[in-house]
Amino acid sequence: MKWQWIADNWDQISDYGWAHLWLAVVPVIVGTVLSIPLGWIANRYRFTRGTLLVLGGVLYAIPSLPLFVVLPSILGTKILDPVNVEVALSIYALAIMLRSAADAFASVDRNDILSADAVGYGALRRFVTVELPLAGPVLLAGVRVVSVSTVSLVTVGSLIGVNSLGYFFIDGYQRDFPTEIWVGVIGTVLIALVLDAILVIIGRVTMPWAKRSPRVRARREAVAREAINT
């Protein structure tokens, strides 16, 4: 490692690090928000589950680099516009989160839903105060997987000129300069770890009941394993 090079180029490293973080966070939020109603629909209406999950699999199967190249012509943006990367990564985030969201709502005990109906909860109130909180721990497990996946995929955007920590992979490889490559790798891993830690803290603060439920823990672990396998 050339520590002097890192010190001399710290401003560029930090700028690309913040850009990398922003390019990752927006798609994770968008994918999660869109997946919640779609996951609920997939669980509520069984005939839609197969269609939506197959659609998610098809979306995730689209190669990232060709998608980055094609999107500008679809969106009417310039090829170097970061919006192209954010839209593409939002598609991938949604594709992964669809199954997690469907499984999250499926993990809600049917008796809890019936109890809410029995005391007169409407569909919207039941969703907001019963189904969504109880599905939260499994949803969070899916978001954590999406977060790590998105942080890694951001680096591909550097191939079309959208700068992130992926720039150091490319430049370091072209110059045969391992220090640059290591800066990109370590920076990307650190961002993934920081985002995951933030998500864990959010989960512990907002859903303290999750760690006390063996059923929720088992379902959460199953969702993580399924996401990794896909």
Reported as a single tens digit per residue, the pLDDT across 112-167 is 888 888 888 887 888 888 888 888 888 999 999 999 999 999 998 888 888 899 99
Q: Long-range contacts of range 53-61, CB-CB < 8 Å, 24 or more positions apart?
A: 53/98, 53/99, 53/102, 55/98, 56/94, 56/95, 56/96, 56/98, 56/99, 57/95, 57/230, 59/91, 59/92, 59/94, 59/95, 60/92, 60/95, 60/96, 60/230
Token pair in block for residue 103: 């499984």
Reported as a single tens digit per residue, the pLDDT across 165-218 is 999 988 888 888 899 999 999 999 999 999 999 999 998 888 876 665 555 555
Residue closest to 96 by CA, chosen among 210, 229, 217:
229
Q: Stretch 77-91: mean pLDDT, rounded?
A: 87
Q: With beta carbons less than 8 A apart as the criterion, state whether 138 and 78 touch.
A: no
Q: What pTM did the predictor assign?
A: 0.85
Mean of pLDDT over the chain: 85
Backbone angles phi, psi at 162, to 5 degrees: -90, 105
Q: How many domains does the chain have?
A: 1
Domain interval for residue 221: 3-229
**How crowded is residue 83: how many other Cβ atoms within 10 Å of its Cβ?**
14
CATH code of the domain in which 24 resides? 1.10.3720.10
Q: With beta carbons less than 8 A apart as the criterion, state whether 85 and 159 touch.
A: no
pLDDT of 71 reads 87
Reported as a single tens digit per residue, the pLDDT across 93-125 is 999 998 889 888 888 888 888 888 888 888 788
pLDDT of 55 reads 84
pLDDT of 209 reads 66
The residue among 67 and 147 whose pLDDT is bigger is 147
